Chain A
């Protein structure tokens, strides 16, 4: 199936450090989305990058997309304790369906 696969599964860093998460997918896409989930809560949309974009920024987030390698990365700069969450990439299915992987669990320590 077309689910995104995140790497690493878990990441532990100190406040102020950068966090990089990677995503791979299997088939051609026209966009890819990233979501955050705080423990026990619903998912929150972070960013959507289209296939004709190589990089996109939103605040402290930077997302890249390499369609030739079928991969994407999410960089969070100057991380804060509040960034502690699970992060999911989601390539699309039809009808705006999203196919989620298991996510990357990020822990940011004060």
Chain B
């Protein structure tokens, strides 16, 4: 199993450009999440999904859109990139379980917006 994979690993964008980050998981997990991590900080939740076709806002959703058309994929879109979106983006997945369950993280996408 590959676990959670993210594409691309690195990207440089100019202000105003758009892009889509792809997250894929092969563990048949229901839940998927997108986080961003800025230097010296913890992860902040952008959007999440509790199943195919459903998405919800997290802590810092502004400037991002997401889609979950297939259970195994969760896409994060930046429609008009801004320098404030320079960050490392992590995707994670988990299965639903009362009482909590671990999240599995991808390796991250390092995005720079100039």
Nearest chain B residue, comparing its CB with the CB of A50: B99
Q: Is the CB of B42 within 8 A of A42?
A: no
- Say which size band chain A's interface belongs to: 20 to 34
Interface of A is mostly: loop
Residues of B within 8 A of A103 (CB): 42
Residues of B within 8 A of A95 (CB): 31, 48, 50, 56, 96
How many B residues face the partner with a CB closer than 8 A? 31
Cβ-defined partner of B105 (8 Å) among A31, A33, A42, A50: A42
Is A75 located at the chain interface by the 8 A CB criterion?
no
B1-26 vs A: 1/0 string, CB under 8 Å?
00010000000000000000000000
Is B62 located at the chain interface by the 8 A CB criterion?
no
Q: Is the CB of A45 within 8 A of B104?
A: yes
B70-94 vs A: 1/0 string, CB under 8 Å?
0000000000000000001010101
Is A60 located at the chain interface by the 8 A CB criterion?
no
Cβ-defined partner of A97 (8 Å) among B58, B90, B104: B58
Using A33-B102, A96-B101, A102-B41 as known contacts, say yes or no to A1 and B50 having CB atoms under 8 A apart.
Answer: no
Nearest chain A residue, comparing its CB with the CB of B33: A97
Residues of A within 8 A of B106 (CB): 42
Shortest CB distance A95–B (Å): 5
Is B107 located at the chain interface by the 8 A CB criterion?
yes
26 residue pairs A–B, Cβ–Cβ below 8 Å: A1-B59, A30-B99, A30-B100, A40-B88, A40-B108, A42-B4, A42-B92, A42-B105, A42-B108, A43-B43, A43-B103, A43-B105, A44-B105, A45-B102, A92-B100, A95-B31, A95-B50, A95-B56, A96-B100, A98-B43, A99-B59, A100-B35, A100-B44, A101-B42, A102-B40, A102-B41
A-B interface, 6 closest residue pairs, ranked by CB to CB distance from nearest: A31-B100, A100-B42, A42-B105, A45-B102, A100-B43, A43-B105
